[in-house]
Structure 1
Amino acid sequence: MNQYVTGAAVKRLREKQKLTQSQLADFLGVSDRTVSKWETGRGFPDITFLEALAKILKVSVVELFSGAEIENGNRSANLSKSNFYICPVCGNSVFSVGKACVSCCGIQLSPLEVENEPVENHRIDVQKDGGEIFVRMNHEMTKSHYISWFACVRLDSVEFAKMYPEQNAETRFRNAGKCRIYAHCIKHGLFEVNF
Structure 2
Amino acid sequence: MDCTKIGKLIADLRKEKGMTQKNIADALGVQNKTVSKWECGLGCPDLAYWSDLSAIFGVDMAQMMEGEITSNKPDNGNIDKIHFYVCPTCGNILVSTGSASVFCCGRKLEYLRLAEKAEQLDLSVEESDIDYYITFDHPMEKAHYISFAAYVKSDRVLLNRLYPEQSPAFRIPISAGGKLYLYCVNHGLTVYSNFWTKQNWKM
Distance change (3 Å), C-alpha of 1:178 and 1:9: farther
TM-score with structure 1 setting the length? 0.59
TM-score with structure 2 setting the length? 0.58
**Aligned residues: CA RMSD:** 4.4
1:160 counterpart = 2:160: yes
8 Å Cα contact 1:148/1:186 also seen in 2: yes
1:190 counterpart = 2:189: yes
Residue 126 of structure 1: CA displacement?
4.5
Determine the structure 2 residue equivalent to 1:151. Answer: 150
Higher Rg of the two aligned structures? 1
8 Å Cα contact 1:78/1:156 also seen in 2: no
Residue 173 of structure 1: CA displacement?
0.8
Determine the structure 2 residue equivalent to 1:7. Answer: 4
AA aligned to 1:73 is: K
| 2: CA distance, partners of 1:132 / 1:117 | 31
1:29-70 alpha-carbon deviations (Å, 9 max, x no partner): 65xx958962xxxx314557995xx97xxx947444223332
Q: Where do 1:57-68 residues align within 5 Å?
A: 60=59, 62=61, 63-68=63-68
1:143-169 alpha-carbon deviations (Å, 9 max, x no partner): 44332332223423423142431x431
8 Å Cα contact 1:112/1:190 also seen in 2: yes
Unaligned runs of 5+ in 2: 14-19, 25-31, 197-203
| 2: CA distance, partners of 1:107 / 1:60 | 12
AA aligned to 2:66 is: S
Determine the structure 2 residue equivalent to 1:20. Answer: none
Determine the structure 2 residue equivalent to 1:100. Answer: 101
Give the share of equivalent positions with the same residue, in percent.
16
Q: Secondary structure at the match of 2:156?
A: coil
User: Moved runs in structure 1, 4+ residues, more than 6 A?
Assistant: none
Q: Secondary structure at the match of 1:7?
A: helix
